[in-house]
């Protein structure tokens, strides 16, 4: 394996399955229109839960994706990952064959893995006894299984692993996939995240932390990042996958180049299990590191897709971090949180938001932060309130932060802006 630090990494395909749509373009249309994908939970009876709504992927037919037999042997988060991967591969016009399989990797992050399977197994044990636990229990819920099954279904035999760093998981997956390509370990990597945490246990667990919004009377308005009346995040499910490859490999096969991944940096707060460090200093270091990696000045960034979870502490500290990194320019920099529309996909959030940053550059449209109603003096930047905005963007940043103090910043550049 040779060290190739000057290898450029580009995105040639995007696949999205999320609460706003079952495809990339349907989800993007919903984001640009400012629609909410949040509603009362329909996949199970939420009675008795403090929060009764979530961002569900409605209309998803798992049997159509993997077949009826395999649908019983794979968790929902894996099925979502397969669907997003197929769309990404189709856009990239990528064929995986015996000739190139060893050079195609898979890195799919998740915060939790197969929570639905875990909950069903625990219920079977408690209610019916040990002999009713499925023999597929472990293979279905393991956090690496989306990455593993995607490899099985696509034939990708290159490097394969699953970052698990809470809500930074899929941002880590993308950054580490790029590093893998740069050091010559793979030519192509299918990278992103998948999550299916909308279960009774998932909702109850986050309710116990007082982390979720309880705005049951108005679910569509519940996720309101940077708004003074935000009361918690909205749990959501979905998957987003990028096809990443070296620019030389993409050029050789005539692949469409959507963007170049020019910057990646990751840090940890080393502060608290769930609370960000004071002043957002860890997030600020990640953003600065990504700018350094990209060789860009702060003023080159035309849009930031914020982590923006709709919790009181996150937005205050992320705003402080943005001011630390961007200085006075922070007040002119468009920042939006698309979690206001999708809810929080936990480990899949970073992958989805990286994809959104690329689409924003592609179409010259910044998706809004909806549900902006009451100004917060601690959150005084331009959050693109309520309505999408036309803007020419050459470089976009996507921020992700996770329990455990994990911080990731990714920078994507338009091909022309990055010399591609």
DSSP state of 243: E
DSSP state of 276: P
Write down the catalytic residue from 167, 172, 379, 406: 167
Pairing relation of β-strands 188-195 and 238-246? Answer: antiparallel
Q: Can 406 be counted among the known catalytic residues?
A: no
Q: Can 249 be counted among the known catalytic residues?
A: no
CA neighbor of 37 nearest in space, from 334, 189, 236: 236
Alpha-carbon distance 107 to 212, whole Å?
29
How far lies 233's CA from each of 41, 311, 327, in Å?
15, 6, 28
CA neighbor of 342 nearest in space, from 167, 208, 206, 150: 167
Alpha-carbon distance 223 to 163, whole Å?
26
- In angstroms, the first-to-last Cα distance of the chain is 25
Alpha-carbon distance 308 to 344, whole Å?
9
Identify the residue whose tokens are 């309710």. 207
The CA angle 114-216-227, to the nearest 5 degrees, is 95
* Backbone φ and ψ of 235, nearest 5°: -65, 135
Residues 6+ apart with CB under 8 A from 286: 265, 266, 267, 399, 407, 408, 409
Identify the residue whose tokens are 């809004």. 368
Q: Quick count: other Cβ atoms within 10 Å of Cβ 143?
A: 20
Residues 6+ apart with CB under 8 A from 281: 269, 321, 324
Structure tokens at 96: 């995986």
Write down the catalytic residue from 18, 172, 249, 307: 307
Q: Can 344 be counted among the known catalytic residues?
A: yes
Angle of helix 115-128 relative to helix 76-92, nearest 10 degrees, comes to 160
Structure tokens at 79: 């099925």
Write down the catalytic residue from 172, 249, 344, 395: 344
* Collapsed DSSP state (helix, strand, coil) of residue 173: helix
Q: Hey, which residues are catalytic here?
A: 167, 307, 344
């Amino acid at each position: 394996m040779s060290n190739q630090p000057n290898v450029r990494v580009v995105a040639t395909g995007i696949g999205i399955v999320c609460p706003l749509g079952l495809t990339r373009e349907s989800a993007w249309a919903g984001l640009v229109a400012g629609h909410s994908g949040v509603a009362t939970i329909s996949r199970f009876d939420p009675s008795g839960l403090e929060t009764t709504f979530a961002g569900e992927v409605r209309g998803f037919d798992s049997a159509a994706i993997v077949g009826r037999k395999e649908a019983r042997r794979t968790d929902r988060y894996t099925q979502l990952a397969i669907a997003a991967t197929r769309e990404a591969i189709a856009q990239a016009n990528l064929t995986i064959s015996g000739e190139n399989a060893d050079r195609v990797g898979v890195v799919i992050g998740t915060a939790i893995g197969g929570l639905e399977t875990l909950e069903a197994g625990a219920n079977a044990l408690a209610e019916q006894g040990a002999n009713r636990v499925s023999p597929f229990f472990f293979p279905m819920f393991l956090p690496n299984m989306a990455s593993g099954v995607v490899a099985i279904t696509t034939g990708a035999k290159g490097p394969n692993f699953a970052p698990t760093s809470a809500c930074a998981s899929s941002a880590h997956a993308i950054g580490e996939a790029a590093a893998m390509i740069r050091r010559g370990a793979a030519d192509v990597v299918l990278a992103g995240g998948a999550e299916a945490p909308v279960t009774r246990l998932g909702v109850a667990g986050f309710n116990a932390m007082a982390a979720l919004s309880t705005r049951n009377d108005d679910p569509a308005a519940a996720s309101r990042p940077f708004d003074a009346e935000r009361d918690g995040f909205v749990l959501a499910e979905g998957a987003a996958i990028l096809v990443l490859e070296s620019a030389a490999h993409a050029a050789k096969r005539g692949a469409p180049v959507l963007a170049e991944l020019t910057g990646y940096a990751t840090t940890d707060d080393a502060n608290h299990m769930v609370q960000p460090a004071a002043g957002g200093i860890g997030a600020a270091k990640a953003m600065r590191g990504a700018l350094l990696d990209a060789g860009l000045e702060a003023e080159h960034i035309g849009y930031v897709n914020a982590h923006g979870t709709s919790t009181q502490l996150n937005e205050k500290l992320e705003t402080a971090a943005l001011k630390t990194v961007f200085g006075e320019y922070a007040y002119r920099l468009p920042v939006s949180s698309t979690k206001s529309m999708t809810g929080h996909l936990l480990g899949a959030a970073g992958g989805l938001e990286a994809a959104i940053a690329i689409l924003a550059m592609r179409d010259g449209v910044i998706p809004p932060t909806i549900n902006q109603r009451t100004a917060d003096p601690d959150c005084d930047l331009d959050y693109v309130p309520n309505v999408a905005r036309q803007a020419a963007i050459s470089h976009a940043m996507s921020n992700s932060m996770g329990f455990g103090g994990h911080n990731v910043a990714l920078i994507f550049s338009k091909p022309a802006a990055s010399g591609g």
